[in-house]
């Protein structure tokens, strides 16, 4: 074997040893990195940035359930960095995802902020981020569930309420047909049909009003509104009903008050309060409508001397189709929508409704609305009106003097 061959063999052996050592070192580095990754609890910087921008509650937890990073909204569920994920259902979800790998989503009810009285329906989604990290996203769907339930209840209640007058009209029509030879009976049944048709029209009208108020475009023509005109129109529309019930309507309080909103909706809302007060007031009593402006708020209060509202009914009195006195509402043709319309109309105008009531002493419903300054045209109109009144008074005085001379 020549020296050249020996040199080549030595070179090949050295190269093989070098490559082997390089591969061994590379494997060792990879193994070390893998072990470091498996034992590391460091949250990637990109994940932290994403969590900071999220509106939903979200967090990253390690295998022991320790919260390493969290969004701002996570604190609403008692999840904070450095704390332990203590909700058993969430821990079970995270544990299942870590065992199976991938992603899992579950709906569950959990307490918010550790308050057992405030359970929230959430959609929780867990995803594996790494050997030791799991991403947990909690989306609160309680409000969505409540709205869905309200829609279902509204449809069910509306269908039930519409069946009554529709069924009555059908039966009365059949009665008229069978009593065609008796004019007196026909007139009686026709009158009852008209009453049921009016009740049906009132119900459908109020359903449409409530639906419009709950829509995004609930308010139509938003302009400065004179509360004096709202009160005057509301009282005028129900004077006949009050006289028939033997109830007196009185008005008092501040004048010249203005709010911004939809005049027609406000008239309907105040009118509903007046109607409600008349219906639940005994004959010979009084319904008072008062207005007060204070600290940037207008208060429109409608008081009665009626039967009052039991404490158990006050929380639900503004619900759609809820009636504190079912028998009286049926007898008077109430729809159970009036106070719900008042509530939504007031909220649409940026206000709130308050209730004071004592059984046997009466009730007071107060609409609180944001006060605005009277528009310039209103001030000019007042001055012009006063000027016309002075001129009329002066002209009257002149005529009287002329008559004296004659």
pLDDT band at 396 (very low <50, low <70, confident <90, very high): very low
Per-residue confidence (pLDDT) for residue 82, from 0 to 100:
85
Among 111-120, 218-227, 252-261, the least confident range: 111-120
Per-residue confidence (pLDDT) for residue 369, from 0 to 100:
92
pLDDT cut 70: percent of the chain above it: 75
pLDDT per residue as tens digits for the range 28-87: 667 665 655 555 567 777 888 888 888 889 999 888 888 888 898 888 888 888 888 888
Q: What average pLDDT does this structure show over 226-247?
A: 90
Among 127-131, 280-284, 383-387, the least confident range: 383-387
Q: What average pLDDT does this structure show over 360-384?
A: 78
Among 67-71, 284-288, 385-389, the least confident range: 385-389
Among 134-143, 327-336, 396-405, the least confident range: 396-405
Per-residue confidence (pLDDT) for residue 1, from 0 to 100:
63
176 has a pLDDT exceeding 60? yes
Q: Three-state SS across the chain?
A: CCHHHHHHHHHHHHHHHHHHHHHHHHHHHHHHHHHHHHHCCCCCHHHHHHHHCCCCEEEEECCCCEEEEECHHHHHHCCCCCCECCCHHHHHHHHHHHHHCCEEEEEEEEEECCEEEEEEEEEEEEEECCCCCEEEEEEECHHHHHHHHHHHHHHHHHHHHHHHHHHHHHHHHHHHHHCCCCHHHHHHHHHHHHHHHHHHHHHHHHHHHHHHHHCCCCCCCCEEEEHHHHHHHHHHCCHHHHHHHCCEEEEEECCCCEEEECHHHHHHHHHHHHHHHHHCCCCCCEEEEEEEEECCEEEEEEECCCCCCCHHHHCCCCCCCCCCCHHHHHHHCCCCCHHHHHHHHHHHCCCEEEEEEECCCEEEEEEEEECECCCHHHHHHHHHHHHHHHHHHHHHHHHHHHHHHC
More reliable by pLDDT, 200 or 389:
200
189 has a pLDDT exceeding 50? yes
pLDDT band at 249 (very low <50, low <70, confident <90, very high): very high
pLDDT per residue as tens digits for the range 110-126: 875 544 446 788 899 99
Per-residue confidence (pLDDT) for residue 101, from 0 to 100:
78
Per-residue confidence (pLDDT) for residue 379, from 0 to 100:
55
- Full-model pTM: 0.51
pLDDT band at 298 (very low <50, low <70, confident <90, very high): very high
Per-residue confidence (pLDDT) for residue 299, from 0 to 100:
94
232 has a pLDDT exceeding 90? yes
Residue-averaged pLDDT of the chain = 77
Per-residue confidence (pLDDT) for residue 301, from 0 to 100:
93
Q: What average pLDDT does this structure show over 297-301?
A: 93
Task: Write down all domains in the chain, each with its CATH number in brackets.
Answer: 45-140 (3.30.450.20), 142-218 (1.10.287.130), 222-398 (3.30.565.10)
């Amino acid at each position: 074997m020549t020296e050249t061959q020996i040199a080549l063999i030595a070179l090949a052996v050295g190269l093989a040893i070098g490559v082997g050592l390089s591969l061994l070192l590379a494997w060792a580095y990879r193994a070390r990195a893998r072990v470091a990754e498996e034992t590391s609890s460091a949250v990637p910087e990109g994940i932290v940035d994403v969590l900071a921008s999220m509106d939903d509650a979200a967090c990253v937890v390690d295998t022991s359930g320790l919260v390493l990073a969290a969004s701002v909204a996570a604190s609403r569920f008692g999840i904070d960095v450095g704390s332990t994920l203590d909700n058993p259902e969430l821990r079970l979800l995270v544990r299942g995802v870590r065992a199976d790998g991938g992603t899992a989503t579950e709906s569950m009810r959990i307490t918010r902020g550790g308050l057992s009285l405030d359970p929230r329906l959430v959609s929780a989604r867990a995803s594996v981020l790494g050997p030791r990290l799991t991403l947990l996203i909690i989306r609160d769907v309680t409000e969505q569930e409540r709205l869905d339930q309200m829609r279902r209840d509204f449809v069910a209640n509306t269908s039930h309420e519409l069946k009554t007058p529709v069924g009555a009209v059908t039966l009365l029509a059949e009665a008229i047909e069978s009593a065609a030879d008796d004019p007196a009976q026909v007139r009686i049944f026709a009158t009852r049909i008209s009453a049921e048709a009016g009740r049906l029209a009132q119900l459908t009208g109020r359903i449409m009003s409530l639906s419009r108020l709950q829509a995004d475009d609930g308010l139509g023509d938003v302009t400065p509104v004179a509360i004096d005109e709202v009160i005057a129109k509301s009282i005028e529309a129900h004077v006949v009903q009050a006289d028939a019930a033997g109830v007196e309507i009185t008005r008092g309080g501040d004048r010249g008050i203005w709010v911004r909103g939809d005049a027609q909706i406000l008239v309907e809302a105040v009118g509903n309060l007046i109607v409600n007060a008349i219906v639940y007031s005994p004959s010979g009593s009084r319904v008072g409508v008062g207005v007060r402006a204070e600290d940037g708020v207008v208060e429109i209060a409608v008081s009665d001397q009626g039967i009052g509202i039991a404490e158990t009914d006050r929380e639900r009195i503004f619900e759609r189709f809820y009636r504190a006195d079912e028998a009286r509402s049926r007898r008077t043709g109430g729809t159970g929508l009036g106070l719900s319309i008042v509530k939504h109309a007031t909220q649409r105008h940026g206000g709130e409704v308050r209730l004071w009531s004592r059984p046997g002493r009466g009730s007071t419903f107060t609409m609180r609305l944001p006060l605005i300054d009277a528009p310039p045209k209103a001030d000019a109109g007042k001055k012009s009106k006063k000027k016309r009144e002075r001129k009329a008074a002066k002209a009257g005085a002149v005529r009287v003097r002329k008559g004296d001379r004659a």
